[in-house]
Structure 1
């Protein structure tokens, strides 16, 4: 069974400069993933100010959906789940999952490290023809010490909820620009990042490393800022899957929609 997955930090549905509404364009762009499962971060469950400012009543055209963003993106083609993390007077935002498979058990784990950054891990169990697949939507904090503690919470969460080697997909914005967490996640969860297995023997460097038995340096893809990606912030980790393809989507479209570029991967259940 093949599953096409994507992860995308949508910057709350507004442009990173000028806070212009991008929700309608984001729905079309997410459709271009042609993904079975989409992991989303910074999703607005409610924003009364933007709804009033960009709604049909004030502009003559509706540039902001009446429904929550995850429900709007899901439409009639996907199921959706939402984990509320940050709450304020005029609304809230968090992580979301869109899935063409039915979503079974859902739980949002609060992993906030301090009062100024509300973070969570949204755990959803997908009901597929081949059995359950555990999905974890992640958005870790901006400070390295806090990310370390949040990674430990993620490890505990996965080990408690998928303890017997069940298929796992962990995706989102890790803010791990120095790549200090990957080795720990590999060791304690048996996962690989989708770019780990790609390119090992298809380049001259890969052939040389294979011949001499040297290990390839494993690095995630660059996804931030979207206009000229340099930092390696977004990841997709998997267990129980073979990675067929993985790519970061670049170009003018993606640079306009969010400050992060999306990652799309095709997985095959082992």
Structure 2
């Protein structure tokens, strides 16, 4: 049985804390990502560059965060969602498997939030697996329109027979997104596994939805080491690939 292990993690741009207590966590995050031992790591709030933070923190990496976090032997794919005064940030995917192609679609719904999703196709055990890395908006009405856009994209760009994973931070405190994606044949685990806020998790905002793959297991690592690095906890899911 061929198994694929997928993690999704909002890394909060590699920095935690407020004001003078702000601290750089990107180096710890590099060790953490490697410890997840996932075949595919879907990341949100990944900085490509930030001139202000680079001046503030002497140990700011020279590499863009996606490349810096990629374990040895992994390919890193990054696309920008938001351009800010001092830099830019977006979604990334780190893959143990060969990357066959990738594209990005803007899904910004209003001028205060720049959003997008990353589509990467992978060669996993000789099969093409599609992965979408998503970070939805904070406003409920915006999320509804973004999910509808996501559904249209899937129907247009991804064959119904192809294995598909949709992972990321959905910012949904209820079941609205789950019910909507189920209409596209995408399902997550029935039980809730809280991932936010990381110090005292109350809600599951992070999901791995799948179509055409058999779910095997789901876990969320906990402990002080994890809540210090980001305001989200990582979510790890395992699936069996269909036999071809």
> What is the TM-score of this pair, normalised by structure 2?
0.95
Deviations 1:154-212 (A, max 9, x none): 1111111212320001000000111211112112x21110x23xxxxxxxxxxxxxxxx
- Structure 1 residue matching 2:142: 3-state secondary structure: helix
Equivalent residues in 2 for 1:1-270, closer than 5 Å: 1-17=2-18, 18-55=21-58, 62=59, 64-187=60-183, 189-193=184-188, 195-196=189-190, 219-270=191-242
- Structure 1 residue matching 2:192: 3-state secondary structure: coil
Whether the 8 Å contact between 2:34 and 2:71 is mirrored in structure 1 is no
- Structure 1 residue matching 2:24: 3-state secondary structure: coil
In 1, Cα distance between equivalents of 2:221 and 2:151 = 28
- Number of aligned residue pairs: give it: 239
In 1, Cα distance between equivalents of 2:131 and 2:114 = 20
- Structure 1 residue matching 2:201: 3-state secondary structure: coil
RMSD: 1.2
Structure 1 stretches of 4+ with a deviation exceeding 2 A read 16-19
Larger Rg: 1
- Structure 2 residue matching 1:227: 3-state secondary structure: coil
> What is the TM-score of this pair, normalised by structure 1?
0.86
Task: Return the offset for 1:75.
Answer: 4.3
Task: Return the offset for 1:267.
Answer: 1.0
In 2, Cα distance between equivalents of 1:118 and 1:4 = 29
- Structure 2 residue matching 1:257: 3-state secondary structure: coil
- Structure 2 residue matching 1:181: 3-state secondary structure: helix
Task: Return the offset for 1:248.
Answer: 1.3
Task: Return the offset for 1:105.
Answer: 1.5
Task: Return the offset for 1:19.
Answer: 2.8
- Structure 2 residue matching 1:192: 3-state secondary structure: coil
Instruction: Name structure 2 gaps, 5 residues minimum.
Output: none
